Amino acid sequence: MSMSSYYPKTVASQMKRGLSNETAMICEIGKVLRDLGNSPREVNYYMSVDEDFISDVLGCYPKPEKRKSVSSNNNLNPWINHPKKT
């Protein structure tokens, strides 16, 4: 397996979880690259020269789970659509 195919996965697995802002994700990629021991020159290469690296890492980064919407007919909220007693 070549380094180019698994390194984005490695970087994505080291990133802080739950980031939803793309700018924060890109900053985190740079931090992880430095934490993994890359030189400033290597970090610059990955972040600026390798056109696919950031998009590949973001593609491997787990998406935040979407919250389930509250059903309008659930019984958890007493103010929502309760049938009238007759």
- The C-alpha atoms of residue 63 and residue 35 are separated, in whole angstroms, by 22
- Global confidence as pTM: 0.69
State the Cα–Cα distance between residues 33 and 8, nearest whole angstrom.
Answer: 10
What pLDDT does 76 receive?
62
Q: Is residue 32 part of a domain?
A: yes
Please report whether residue 73 resides in a domain: no
Q: Say what the pLDDT of residue 63 is.
A: 80
CB-based contacts of 17: which residues, under 8 Å, 6+ apart? Answer: 62
Residue 65 within any structural domain of the chain: no
Give the structural domain span for 53: 3-60
Q: Please give the residue that has the higher pLDDT: either 38 or 75.
A: 38
pLDDT for the residue 23: 95
Look at residue 1 in the predicted model and tell me its pLDDT: 42
Question: Is 75 among the domain residues?
Answer: no
| Mean pLDDT of the residues in the chain | 84
Torsion of CA 71, 76, 79, 81, to 10 degrees: 40
Number of domains in the chain: 1
Q: What is the average pLDDT across 49-63?
A: 94
**How far is Cα 70 from Cα 56, in angstroms, rounded to an integer?**
34
